[in-house]
């Protein structure tokens, strides 16, 4: 209790001096980032030039870039990336030079890199000792020795944790949540000045290379005062690509669905926070669970008990909860539910609440036993030697070799552009049928309509858009002087008719001023 009281005082006192990084630093006119989960640095560099830059994406969240333990069971799981051995920049995504080349290429065209930073812990306590790591560095988890940092037993919370096992035994105890091992991962002593300095040096090295910000993994398992002390020491961004004095974007992973011992609100003075209620509740609505209806989304955002708009990073799913971990359970929508998923992502990108992050996944073989997926550990598409496969691009612009690439789905890519076009415009002209047919506009720049009912939709609505003919960017898009999908006519009074069948592959329509013909 005393530690919690001191934390409140520290945050309250230091908030005025904090580097609180709420600005995503995306280039003007770009409003969303994508998580290219487990991609190689070389493929990410290529994707920027050939697709993300030309289609208005603001940046990419990458997998942790620092050395991790190599796990073979029998193949390498995705979660080995979250078991650090050192802060050297070499993983199965690539080495340090490839990382530097990727960052440089991206920054040169104004699309930026956001690093998934694992600073709460090192690898699991039961890993043992050896050199089975992505850079070949040695370690010994029994003695807490990580000479490549270096860390020793004095740098971990073993003496501070009060549980018998040394791990978190009660998630309703905030002290355990922050001072004990999360699923056996060796918990770093973040109140140590030496540990803080080691972490700051790691993050500042990435800033100097040219990254634009950080997702702080497992932030809720660190005391807010400790995180604040680290983030206040970060360098400004590299002036080769960013204006002088620009501070790194900070967004923190805090799972808080309400009623948690650790609240997301404790971290909003440090930087933005991942709003996990967003995907969980939106999935419940789109799936029509528990009597929820899309009509109820009229006051979506803070009206649903979410954190303040300018503090939230929002997403439909992430790499954890699409596998059933983290938060949201069965309500979370993923690429496995493609039809509903595209509607949910479309709604997110059309609605003004929060800063949006899109997921880009890989497939894994599903094997459900007792409602649990026994293959949720499976790593990215790989060769027999464990190295990650390149991401091949098919003729239809989709990805092959098991890479899903939701960001390349026409509907999602076009909604990223929609969000850029309507940026800064108010949500107006809301309409609903009291059930699951809804529509709304974004100023005089865009309009979107959804039919998630089990009946066809034929409605005439006021869009607020200038008169003319528009290409629906969901069923197709504007190409030259025509549309590859539906065409919507807006009258001189801003009225348009929308026909959406309940059986349509994508039961929603979106138009914006840049799709006018």
Q: List active site positions.
A: 217, 253
Q: How far apart are CA 284 and CA 291, in angstroms?
A: 9
Nearest to 321 by CA among 381, 370, 261, 274: 274
Query: What's the token pair of residue 59?
Result: 């940046």
Query: What's the token pair of residue 188?
Result: 């770093």
**CA–CA distances in Å: residue 426 to residues 308, 447, 472:** 16, 11, 21
Give 44's Cβ-side CA count (13 Å radius): 34
Sign (positive or negative) of CA dihedral 437, 508, 320, 162: negative
CA angle at residue 218 from 345 to 376, to 5 degrees?
A: 60
Pairing between strand 59-62 and 32-36?
Answer: parallel
Residue 74: asked if its preceding bond is cis (omega within 30°), the reply is yes
End-to-end CA distance of the chain: give it in Å, rounded: 63
Do you know the residue count of the chain?
Answer: 517
Query: What's the token pair of residue 98?
Result: 């490839």
Nearest to 487 by CA among 457, 450, 517: 517
Q: How far apart are CA 219 and CA 71, in angstroms?
A: 24
**CA–CA distances in Å: residue 433 to residues 82, 342, 455:** 46, 21, 12
């Amino acid at each position: 209790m005393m530690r919690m009281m001191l934390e409140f005082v520290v945050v309250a006192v230091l908030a005025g001096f904090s580097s609180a990084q709420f600005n995503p630093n995306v280039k003007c006119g770009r409003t969303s980032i994508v998580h290219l989960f487990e991609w190689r640095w070389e493929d990410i560099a290529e994707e920027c030039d050939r697709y993300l830059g030309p289609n208005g994406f603001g940046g990419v969240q990458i997998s942790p870039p620092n050395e991790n333990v190599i796990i073979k069971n029998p193949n390498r799981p995705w979660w080995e990336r979250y078991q650090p051995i050192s802060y050297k920049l070499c993983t199965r995504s690539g080495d340090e030079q490839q990382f530097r080349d990727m960052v440089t290429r991206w920054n040169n065209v104004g699309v930026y890199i956001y690093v998934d930073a694992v600073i709460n812990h090192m690898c699991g306590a039961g890993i043992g000792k050896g050199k089975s790591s992505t850079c070949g560095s040695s370690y010994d988890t029994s003695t807490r020795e990580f000479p490549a940092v270096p860390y020793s037993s004095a740098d971990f919370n073993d003496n501070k944790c009060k549980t018998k096992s040394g791990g978190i035994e009660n998630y309703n105890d905030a002290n355990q949540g922050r001072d004990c091992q999360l699923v056996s991962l060796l918990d770093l002593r973040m109140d140590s000045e030496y540990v803080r300095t080691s972490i700051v040096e790691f993050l500042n090295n990435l800033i100097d290379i040219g990254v634009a910000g950080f997702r702080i993994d497992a932030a809720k398992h660190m005391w807010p005062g400790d995180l604040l002390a680290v983030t206040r020491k970060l360098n400004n961004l590299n002036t080769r690509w960013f204006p002088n004095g620009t501070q790194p974007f900070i967004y923190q992973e805090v799972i808080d669905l309400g009623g948690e011992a650790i609240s997301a609100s404790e971290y909003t003075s440090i930087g933005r926070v991942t709003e996990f209620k967003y995907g969980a509740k939106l999935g419940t609505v789109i799936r029509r669970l528990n009597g929820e209806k899309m009509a109820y989304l009229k006051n979506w955002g803070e009206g649903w008990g979410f954190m303040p708009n300018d503090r939230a990073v929002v997403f439909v799913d992430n790499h954890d909860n699409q596998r059933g971990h983290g938060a949201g359970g069965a309500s979370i929508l993923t690429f496995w539910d493609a039809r509903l998923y595209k509607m949910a992502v479309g709604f997110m990108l059309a609605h003004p609440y929060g800063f949006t992050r899109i997921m880009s996944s890989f497939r894994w073989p599903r094997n459900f036993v007792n409602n649990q997926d026994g293959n949720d550990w499976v790593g990215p598409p790989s060769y027999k030697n464990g190295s990650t496969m390149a991401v091949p691009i098919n003729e239809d612009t989709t990805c092959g070799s098991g890479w899903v690439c939701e960001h390349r789905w026409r509907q999602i890519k076009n909604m990223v552009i929609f969000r850029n076009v309507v940026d800064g415009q108010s949500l107006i002209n809301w309409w609903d049928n009291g059930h699951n047919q809804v529509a709304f506009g974004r100023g005089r720049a865009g309009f979107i309509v959804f039919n998630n009912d089990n009946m066809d939709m034929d409605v005439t609505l006021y869009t607020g858009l200038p008169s003319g003919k528009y290409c629906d960017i969901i069923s197709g898009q504007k190409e030259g002087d025509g549309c590859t999908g539906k065409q919507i006519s807006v009258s001189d009074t801003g009225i348009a008719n929308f026909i959406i069948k309940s059986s349509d592959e994508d039961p929603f329509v979106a138009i914006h001023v840049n799709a006018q013909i």
